[in-house]
Chains A and B, each alone.
Chain A
Amino acid sequence: MREITYAEAVREAMSEKMREDQDVFILGEDIGVYGGAFGVTRGMIEEFGPERVRNTPISESGIAGAAVGSALTGMRPILELQFSDFITIATDQIINQAAKIRYMYGGKGKVPMVLRTPAGSGTGAAAQHSQSLEVWMAHIPGLKVIQPSNAYDAKGLLISAIEDDNPVIFYEHKLLYGMKAEVPEGLYRVPIGQADIKREGKDVTVVATAIMVPKALQAAETLAKEGIQVEVIDPRTLVPLDEQTIISSVSKTGRLVVVHESVKRAGYGAEIASMIAESEAFDYLDAPIQRLGGKAVPIPYNPELEKHAVPQVEDIIQAVHATLNREGA
């Protein structure tokens, strides 16, 4: 099968849906001839024109609200925010409006919108352009939160997100944009709320999100050479979370490492760890759960400092070792 990049997969999902459904449109800053801050919408204005690829002023609050309002009245907007850090400016419309409208109105009205935005560090863009804030959105009832880790999942999940009748926050990772995978042409869906076992193993479960998935796979490869069989699970969607896949895996391996790029303190790993502690998998645990996450610092500019601010492959390997050394102790 042909291979395309993660960025191309995201673009293809949007384009294929836009060809099929006239209600789908995109809005965002510099998504026209510039092609978006990361080139994801390149070529789309040429195909769909400026009515459906709406290049907006720099007004995150306004365009988020315009997405909410148009969704409420029959459109299916896809809002691109150039960096997920700027969600701070859009959040009133997302958190106080989009997420709550259906419930507040007693089940009337719906807000079928997707907010796509790149997150993460590793580009040297420093503190205001490198954050991973997905757990904020995961905390809000009424939102769905997606974090694809490869091109195949990105396309299938984005199609599901566009077809979903709820506001969906779709986090892309900047360092994944250039990564290729086999991706089918045409519409296909990856269901929202289904985790994926990216590698099977019997010794330790590693639950990783976004950019940490390829890192966990790399760690698993190294550990395999030592005879340690790591199972790598990508939840793919934080809300709703496929708890059962994680519970089953931990029940099998008895060991859990959770790793994400966002700050460890109050990060999503805490949710996964507590979910396991509350589940029947707790009885199978042979070692304390290991949580890895970013240091509690803004992302620094210096490349070495930046690297050390978030978990690396070596940290995952060490955490897996730590869960194993406790055996029988």
Chain B
Amino acid sequence: MNKQVELPKAFSKERLLELAHQMWLIRYFDEKVDEFFARGLIHGTTHLCVGQEATAAGACAVLNEQDKITSTHRGHGHCIAKGADVNRMMAELFARETGYCKGKGGSMHIADVDRGNLGANGIVGGGIPIAVGSALTAKMKNLDYVTLCFFGDGASNEGSFHEGINLASVWNLPVIFFCENNQYGMSGSVKEMTNIENIGDRAAAYGIPGIVVEGNDLFAVIEATQEALERARNGGGPTLIEAKTYRWKGHSKSDAKKYRTKEEERFWRTEKDPLVFMANRLIEAGLTDEQEWENIRLQAKEEIEAAVRYAEASPQPSLDSLETDVYA
């Protein structure tokens, strides 16, 4: 897992810088949401993926527009990486009519079906069998899209994980099970909640390949997902990928983080920041320099500020909408 992965050959310099921009967008989106929650300007709850930008960006980087994803409660990064408009995402968090769910869904339910994002999910593990169903459609209708299913280490202890992956394996479906192991559920450490070293090792129970990868290394995530994607597209069936990462923030808005140490947090923030890692690799390879990197960062930051302005200027949904869209 520790070997240095080569930069992906199929990716141009422009594409790599685009991914850098995307990762900054993810980081600033969630930093902004964090700030607004703290100030009481957004209500409900939210789960932030700061520190996990490389899993979302890397996994989605190899997918095309037709490919689909299922996401989780910690889904803002997935959504951005699949090409969503941050204005409409921010508007959803502000519960506005212009939001992706017309203000009805909020943070845990953002979906962008047109771009293949079948939705975040408030139910841990809820998306796993749905991804299987999406892959089943592809198989039955002879469509060549692949479905990538994001879920957490905690979700891998739900029955839906076992049932979903077993189904996909016996039906040989074009699906990638992508576990973002950020070391904790809400507070439950993966070390105490599972009796194995790697969640990726569970693949053996279903007779499918399992890959364990450094989740904060964008290029390692891309490489692993590319391999799984080719297998799925070529009729080789599902793959289980486990990407090791870490969430910098608390689980949700109220979390004293008593279940982990400050040292551990500091280690991940300072030694394993996925953006620092990427900057170093690209600069080292002569694909960018500090000035350009800084410009990319500032541009992303400004786009998030613009998203906030868009959200704040958007109308509230009308009360008449309360009872619409219950049925198709």
Contacts and interface: CB of A to CB of B under 8 A. Distances in A.
Nearest to A88: B123
Contact of B159 (A34, A62, A298): A62
A32 B104 CA distance: 33
Contacts of B187: 30, 32-34, 55
A276 B159 CA distance: 43
A56 B186 CA distance: 11
A57 interface: yes
A57 B125 CA distance: 12
Secondary structure of the B side of the interface?
loop
B326 A296 contact: yes
A58 B124 contact: yes
Interface stretch (A123-131, A192-200, A214-222, A249-257): A123-131
Interface in B184-204: 185-188, 192-194
A124 B43 contact: yes
B322 A297 contact: yes
Given A32-B187, A297-B323, A58 B155 contact: yes
B198 to A, nearest CB: 16
Contacts of A57: 154, 157, 185, 188, 193-194
Contacts of A123: 44-45
Interface stretch (A5-13, A182-190, A225-233, A303-311): A303-311
Interface stretch (B105-113, B206-214, B231-239, B294-302): B105-113
A188 B30 CA distance: 47
B3 interface: no
A302 interface: yes
B241 to A, nearest CB: 20
A191 interface: no
B55 to A, nearest CB: 19
Contacts of B255: 34
B154 A58 contact: yes
A126 B101 CA distance: 11
A48 interface: no
B316 interface: yes
Contacts of A34: 186-187, 255, 258-259
Interface string A115-158: 00000000111111100000000000000000000000000000
B133 interface: no
A59 B316 contact: no
B159 A301 contact: no
A303 B159 contact: no
Interface string B159-175: 10000000000000000
Interface string A51-68: 000011111111000000
A100 interface: no
Interface in B112-137: 121-126
A275 interface: no
Top 8 A-B pairs, shortest CB-CB distance = A124-B44, A301-B106, A128-B122, A34-B187, A57-B157, A124-B43, A302-B95, A302-B103
5 contacts: A89-B159, A128-B109, A129-B108, A301-B104, A309-B322
Interface of A: 29-30, 32-34, 37, 55-62, 85-86, 89, 123-129, 295-298, 300-305, 308-309
Given A126-B44, A127-B105, 9 more contacts: A34-B255, A55-B192, A58-B124, A59-B157, A125-B108, A127-B104, A297-B322, A300-B103, A305-B104
Interface of B: 43-45, 92, 95, 101, 103-106, 108-109, 121-126, 154-155, 157-159, 185-188, 192-194, 255, 258-259, 316-317, 319, 321-323, 326
